[in-house]
Amino acid sequence: MKVPIKIQPIWENVLHRWQRSVRALGALAFFYAFCGFAGESAYADGSVSSLGMGYGAPNQAAFARFLAVIQQYNASGERFRIDGHCQSACTMFLSIRNVCVAPGASLLFHAGGSMQKGIINPSTTQQMLSTYNAGLRQYVTDNHFMETFAFHTISGSQIIKRFGYPACR
């Protein structure tokens, strides 16, 4: 027969306090983390390169992420930089109300759809076109950029000079 080990009352009290402290610290850490993320924008850096979104959307779920970033930055009014390489769905970031374009950026345009399947989707293409200003939309349409999956590059400096998007300072 085993004899139960009895913890001395003082140790029981210390153990109980320690457990409460650990729980309280855990709750506090969770609260701090949650409020810290909720209080700040989800994409605090505000640039294509910092988000790693310069290579477009390989599927509808990724395309939806681009739309979510656009919505988030338009809601916050926070500055968003198009810098470096920006192809495909990334070019929709031009619709962010407080966007700027780095002169050294490269923006690559093509039709929307599934490159893997070789299927152009007119509604996705139209959705992309609707995010560009009138001058750029006219240019990519007139030059048939949005009719094939071939990439057509426009430099950041041309996006700024020719189509009136603001330059990043």
For residue range 19-59, list pLDDT tens digits in order.
444 343 333 333 333 333 333 334 345 999 888 887 878 77
**pTM of structure:** 0.72
CA nearest to 132, candidates 93, 85, 77: 93
> What confidence tens digit (pLDDT) does each residue in 84-122 have?
999 999 999 999 999 999 999 999 999 998 888 899 999
Cα distance between residue 11 and residue 15, in whole Å? 6
Cα distance between residue 40 and residue 84, in whole Å? 25
Cα distance between residue 145 and residue 127, in whole Å? 14
Question: Which CA distances in Å does 88 have to 49, 51, 62, 109?
Answer: 15, 15, 12, 6
46 phi, psi to nearest 5 deg: 75, 45
Average per-residue pLDDT in the chain?
A: 80
Provide mean pLDDT across the span 138-161: 97
Q: Is 27 exposed, middle or buried (0-12, 13-18, 19+ CB in 10 A)?
A: exposed
Provide mean pLDDT across the span 127-154: 97
- What share of the chain has pLDDT > 90, as a percent? 60
